[in-house]
A and B are shown apart, each in its own frame.
Chain A
Amino acid sequence: MTRPIARRVIILGAQSAIAEAAARRFAAEGSRFVLVGRDLARLNEIAADLRVRGAAACEVEALDLVEARDPRGRMRAWVDTLGGISLVLIAFGVLGDQEEAERDLHALDRLLAVNFNAPAVWAATAAEIMMAQGGGTVMAIGSVAGDRGRQSNYAYGAAKAGIGVFMQGLAHRLAPSGARAVLVKPGFVDTPMTAGFAKGGPLWASPDQIGAAIWRAADKGGPIVYAPWFWRFIMLIIRAVPAFVIHRSKL
């Protein structure tokens, strides 16, 4: 085992169960954090835990990341708080309701804004800083739902597919500088986002398993990382299924 690395980490959407699981691993290595999310009380609960688990510092900020003004200035300020940056993890998102997005165009607009527009803007601001400093990783959480459009969740899937291409392109742009862009694509994860689904079985992963994948991807791999890894092959097959077959299914 190599020696733990204390990082400077900004997490946008720090209340996500996956982000918290990842943060615990970085905390155990003595990392410093800025946690951003919507609810101050919840961020404080998470921050206290990370401090006890070894975080050298942990700042919190309550902010609506979809509506926030001046993302460039805010990102700069968070990086300055940490005195540099090693990882920006963009973890916010909503599964939304596909049927509602079909009925109500405002709901569709909102779903795309939360899952694509806002993450892309924040990733762009982080990339500028990392390119200038010649290192660091900006990471977003995608989804296997972005690998093929299906009637049950294509609005969410389209936004996740979009952020996937954005991160892939960003990785290409950053490559000469030494900085990295990574998209982590979880499969089924047992989190509050998926409450109400029938869970269990080998395809369902815990937030901690995805957290471990994020922790590994902070150093190497990418730009597209499936979590757990076997989803790469499942989605290879799903993408290869002809449309006439998919159209007869309820997927």
Chain B
Amino acid sequence: MSASFSNKEPFSSWGRIDRRLYPVARPRFAADLAKAIAAPDRPASVLPVGLGRSYGDSCLNAEGGLIVMTGLNRLIEIDEQGMVMRAQAGLSLGEALRVLTPKGLFLPVLPGSQFVTLGGAVANDVHGKNHLKNGTFGRWVRRIGLQRSHGPALSLAPDDPSGLFAATMGGFGLTGAISWVEIGLAPIGSAFLDAEDIPFSSLDEYFQLMAESETFEQRVAWIDCTRPGRGVFTRANVRHDGNFQIGPARPALSAPLDGASFLFNGVTLRAFNFAYAAAHRASVRPVHYSKFYFPLDAVGDWNRLYGARGFRQYQCVVPEGAARDAVHEMLYLIARSGEGSMLAVLKAFGPKPSPGLMSFATEGHTLALDFPNHGERTLRLMARLDEIVLEAGGRIYAGKDGRAPARTFQRMYPRWRELERMRDPAIRSDFWSRVSAT
């Protein structure tokens, strides 16, 4: 039953711009996955998806069906001595942490949400606030299971000579369904971090703080887009107090209704101003991992607050040398447009190479912010940001994007044809159709 495609389930990406009904298969066991992807009666194309936290169209397939992987959420093995975990790809990072934390172990790289599957983390080669120390998620992956539409289940390691491992890291799920993931773990002394907030009033101060905070594993800045240059720099290290309290499985609050973006912006800005003021009184505060890594997860479905038209996210990276000018130019452009969210996130990527053919993270600084969807107006602004990024020799985070034209994308990711060659012919996404057009 779970290997076959049901009729019409609603699905959308996190940005909620394109909402529609899909034929959906929900495999619960490894054998179901093999059947779903190779079934003779499956839709003309399929796309394996996780928890739908990608913002754009990389988890959408308007011309076919979806294989929702979240039923394959079992742990397979944890080697506590060897610090390795193997689990089915539909397991969420948050659920993994709830099992790992009491053992004094942790995932070495975490994105901004716990509601991301292991498979999704591999497919986007995600990064965190500790890229300078640990690089991307994919650097810690020891082995993956890959189920393609033809042939046997594969087990791939980083030294895989076919190139399929590298194509699958940050490969947007296009090379096959990632069935399980084996990843190295990091030891922790606590579920809490010591975090320090430092206010700054210019980009120069941000770059200085980033450079002089070498002893801090976690480094991130929040920028006030209404007054570019002003922000709060947060740096943190894991505590060693032996308190291994686990995080919540579900959000504490739920978005009350669609389209309260005024409320959202009001609340985030007030929270920011509060943090900004508090930061002046400075001090180190203990903060639980769930609050530190996943601040937005506290409100379930916060994406609904952007209303019926949804929103877009823009994230780019620009190389170190060009970063100062490019970030400055982007922030002023956004502030003048009045289109952006009130807050942007700015952080640094270190020199550790990403393992994927199409991985986003490259050395430099990365800026991320939301845009409520105002149609053409929003697209024009994002196209101008693309020009600044290209000029600076940077690239956008394709897994978050849902609109860059093929020409732009192909200039940023010149190796895209190698992924196209290794794509599973049964797999298609709206994203890949858009960016691989010639």
B75 touches A192 (CB 8 A): no
Residue from the set A52, A53, A196 with the largest chain B CB neighbour count within 10 Å: A52
* Nearest CB in chain B: distance from A3 CB, A: 15
Complex contacts, A104 vs chain B, CB 8 Å: none
A42 touches B7 (CB 8 A): no
Number of contacting residues on B, CB 8 A? 20
The residue of chain B having its C-beta at the shortest distance from the C-beta of A52 within the complex is: B75
A195: Cβ under 8 A from any B Cβ: yes
Cβ-defined contact, A17 with B28, below 8 A: yes
CB distance from A249 to the nearest CB of B (A): 24
Distance between B70 CB and nearest chain A CB, rounded to angstroms: 11
Contact check, B76 vs A48: say whether CB atoms are below 8 A apart: yes
With A and B bound together, what is the CA distance between A32 and B2 in angstroms? 28
Residues of B within 8 A of A48 (CB): 74-77
Is B99 engaged at the interface, CB distance under 8 Å to the other chain? yes
Contact with B along A220-244 (1 / 0, CB 8 A): 0000000000000000000000000
A199 to B26, CA, bound (A): 14
A195 and B6 within 8 A (CB): yes
Query: Given the complex, which residues of A lie within 8 Å of B76, measured CB to CB?
Result: 48-49, 52
B84 to chain A, nearest CB (A): 12
Question: Hey, what's the 0/1 contact readout for B59-101 against A, CB within 8 Å counting as 1?
Answer: 0000000000001001111100000000010000000000100
- A65 located at the interface, meaning its Cβ lies under 8 Å from any Cβ of chain B in the complex: no
Residue B29 CB within 8 A of the other chain: yes
Check A196–B77 contact: CB distance below 8 A: no
Q: Which chain B residue lies CB-closest to A28?
A: B99
Q: Is A41 an interface residue (CB 8 A)?
A: yes
**Interface pair B74/A49, CB less than 8 Å apart:** yes
Contacts of A49 in B (CB 8 A): 74-76
Q: Does A62 contact B (CB under 8 A)?
A: no
Q: Which residue of B lies closest to A42 (CB)?
A: B29
Q: Using an 8 Å CB-CB cutoff, how does the interface string of A200-219 with B read, 1 for contact, 0 for none?
A: 10000000000000000000
Q: Is the CB of A41 within 8 A of B31?
A: yes
Q: In the complex the two chains form, is B78's CB within 8 Å of A52's CB?
A: yes
Per the bound structure, the CA–CA distance linking A48 and B99 in Å amounts to: 14
Q: Is B437 interfacial (CB 8 A cutoff)?
A: no
- Interface bracket on A: 10 to 19
- Residues on the A chain within 8 Å of B29, using CB: 39, 41-42, 45
Q: How far is the CA of A175 from the CA of B143 in the complex (A)?
A: 53
- Does B30 reach chain A (CB closer than 8 Å)? yes
Assembled-state Cα–Cα distance A39/B10 (Å): 31
User: Is B211 at the interface (CB under 8 A from chain A)?
Assistant: no
- Min CB distance A58 to B, Å, is 12
| B1 contacts the other chain (CB 8 A) | yes
Which residues of A are found within 8 Å of B88, using beta-carbon distances? 45
In residues 38-58 of chain A, which contact B (Cβ within 8 Å)? 39, 41-42, 45-46, 48-49, 52-53
Contact A192 B2, beta carbon cutoff 8 Å? yes
Given the complex of chains A and B, what is the CA–CA distance between A149 and B77 in angstroms? 46
A53: B residues at CB distance < 8 A: 75, 99
Contacts of A45 in B (CB 8 A): 29-30, 74, 88
How far does the alpha carbon of A42 sit from the alpha carbon of B35 in the complex, in Å? Answer: 14
Min Cβ gap B22→A in Å is: 14
Contact with A along B1-19 (1 / 0, CB 8 A): 1101011011000000000
B:9-48 near A, CB below 8 Å: 9-10, 26, 28-31
A49 CA to B77 CA, complexed, in Å: 8
Contact B6 A52 (CB under 8 A): no
- Mask: chain A, 14-43; 1 = CB below 8 Å from B; 0 = not: 000100000000000000000000010110
* Residues of B with C-beta under 8 A to A196: 6-7
Residues of B within 8 A of A193 (CB): 1
Closest Cβ of chain B to A251, distance in Å, is 21
Chain B residues, CB < 8 A from A200: 10
Q: Can you add 19 more A-B contacts, CB < 8 Å, to A17-B71, A45-B74?
A: A39-B29, A45-B29, A46-B74, A48-B77, A49-B75, A49-B76, A52-B76, A52-B78, A53-B99, A192-B28, A192-B71, A193-B1, A195-B1, A195-B2, A195-B6, A195-B26, A196-B6, A199-B9, A200-B10
Residue numbers of B with Cβ under 8 A of A are 1-2, 4, 6-7, 9-10, 26, 28-31, 71, 74-78, 88, 99
Q: List 14 A-B contacts (CB under 8 A).
A: A41-B31, A42-B29, A45-B29, A45-B30, A46-B74, A48-B74, A49-B76, A52-B76, A52-B77, A52-B78, A52-B99, A195-B2, A195-B6, A196-B6
5 residue pairs, one from A and one from B, having the closest CB atoms = A49-B74, A52-B75, A192-B2, A42-B29, A49-B75
